[in-house]
Amino acid sequence: MKYSKLLLSSILAGLVFIPLLSAQGKGISESLAKEAQQLSEAALEENIAYEVVESLTTEVGARLAGSEAEKRARSWAVAKLKELGFENVHEEPFEVPLWERGIERAEIVSPFPQQLTVTALGGSVATPEEGVVGELIRFSSVKELEAQPQGSLKGKIVFIDEIMTRTQDGSGYGEAVGKRRQTAYEAYKKGAAGALIRSVGTSSHRFAHTGQMKTITEITEEIDSVPTAALSAPDADQLTRALERTDSIQIRLQLTPKFEPASISGNVIGEIVGTESPEEVIIIGGHLDSWDLGTGAIDDGAGIGITVAAARLIKDHYPNGLKRTIRIVMWGSEEVGLVGAKAYADAHADELDNFIVAAESDFGAGKIWKFNSFFAEEKLNYLSEIADVLRPLGIAKGDNKASSGPDVGALKAKGVPIVSLQQNGWDYFDLHHTPNDTLDKIDPDELAQNVAAYAAFVYLAAQIEDDFRAEDSDIN
């Protein structure tokens, strides 16, 4: 943290050049930049984000979409936002189907009897109570499975051993997640009795990574899939080694999840109302739900903590608020298919033109290293100018192709400008969707760097005269 403070001091002492006005948008004034950087410096001294994540993960813990626990998380969120002094704190409920995990076991029956570490994928159908037994058939990718003739795997247990690439920017996930989404349905077409996938994850620790197959709202009672679970990486390796020794491995898979077609979820909102243009809104937030295995610390307690702390810091420094409204949105039911994001975009369709910019923090608790935008071309000076303000935090200017946080995708699709404060995700998929997603995995200093960046960015977005859209246009 110290080097950042040094750089910040240099900035404040005027030793580092900050561009004033560009030929494009009206630009960020020196005084605004200074204020933003003072907020950053203050953020690095604070611990609020960590306290918020600690409170959520301890007092609520895991909070599956549509569950009683997610309901408790909403109550927690309302109380916490009120306690921290936010305005217009409320829930916005919506319906969601509820999928709940049951027993989940897999074992090699023969020739090398032993238990395997597995977890059902979200939305998986159940096996019969006693499980299914079938011969293991390995494929090195889900594409290889797709290429099999229809009905050619009658009664088999499919095993997709596709390996995920570790990357800083999460691009390995985009590729790897295909097998999680498709295997159950492809295996069904081939006639299989069940399926196992190597976890979508990068760790060699013996945790299976869960995650949603089809979006939960697409999953119906109609059976067009087979019971499907993720194997931990060591277990996937184990099966591959076993198959090097024998062609015939019998597997028993037992999964007893249950599916309820309707339950209640919701988004939670809190604001700092704007003093001059209260109808103009900066949206920041994370998602409140988590998978049921861990306590949802990095996914996405961290995002909740970072954005709440950034807004709270602004409130501390500007008790009357900034020009525009800062709105925290804690989306519900993100993990099962962005259900809260869609509900939010639908419910606020009339208001979208007034959304100045939206940013979600949902990629763990690692340091932010790049600032990307999705602004109108004629407003690209702000990409550079905001990046200049963030540079002392170790953040580089990115490009104008920001891929949104998942929940702001629905806003981006309707033309809302977005930014991505991109975190280092090198280790994110070691923990993602596992029981090991717990508070101890968060580095408080890295979390504070996130708060510093969000506070500065949100301050600028709320105070500039300009916005990030094309002139005379609702849509970029």
Site residues, a second copy (CB under 8 A): 54, 57-62, 68-69, 72, 108, 112-115, 117, 204-207, 233-234, 237-238, 241-242, 245, 294-295, 434-436, 438-441
Catalytic-labelled residue, pool 91, 334, 360, 385: 334
Nearer to a second copy, 114 or 171 (CB): 114
Angle 461-326-270 from CA coordinates, rounded to 5°: 160
Give min distance, CB of 293 to a second copy, in A. 9
Give min distance, CB of 296 to a second copy, in A. 11
Q: How far apart are CA 285 and CA 131, in angstroms?
A: 41
Print the SS3 string covering the chain.
Answer: CHHHHHHHHHHHCCCCCCCCCCCCCCCCCHHHHHHHHHHHHHHHCCCHHHHHHHHHHHHCCCCCCCCHHHHHHHHHHHHHHHHCCCEEEEEEEEEEEEEECCCEEEEEEECCCEEECEEECECCCCCCCCCEEEEEEEECCHHHHHCCCCCCCCCCEEEECCCCCCCCCCHHHHHHHHHHHHHHHHHHHCCCCEEEEECCCCCCCCCCCCCECCCCCCCCCCCCCCCEEEECHHHHHHHHHHHHHCCCCEEEEEECCEEEEEEEEEEEEEEECCCCEEEEEEEEEEECCCCCCCCCHHHHHHHHHHHHHHHHHHHHHCCCCCCEEEEEEEECCCCCCCHHHHHHHHHCHHHHHHEEEEEECCCCCCCEEEEEEECCHHHCHHHHHHHHHHHHHCCEECCCCCCCCHHHHHHHCCCCCEEEEEECCCCHHHHCCCCCCCHHHCCHHHHHHHHHHHHHHHHHHHHCCCCCCCCCCCCC
Give min distance, CB of 395 to a second copy, in A. 28
Q: How far apart are CA 400 and CA 412, in angstroms?
A: 13
Give min distance, CB of 438 to a second copy, in A. 4
Nearer to a second copy, 118 or 460 (CB): 118
Give min distance, CB of 163 to a second copy, in A. 13
Nearer to a second copy, 201 or 406 (CB): 201
Nearer to a second copy, 107 or 378 (CB): 107
Give min distance, CB of 38 to a second copy, in A. 32
Nearer to a second copy, 181 or 252 (CB): 252
Q: How far apart are CA 197 and CA 378, in angstroms?
A: 46
Nearer to a second copy, 164 or 455 (CB): 164
Give min distance, CB of 349 to a second copy, in A. 36
Place of tokens 């704190």: 89
Nearer to a second copy, 59 or 351 (CB): 59
Give min distance, CB of 109 to a second copy, in A. 13
Nearer to a second copy, 348 or 433 (CB): 433
Q: How far apart are CA 476 and CA 33, in angstroms?
A: 25
Whether 334 is catalytic is yes
Catalytic sites, residue numbers: 334
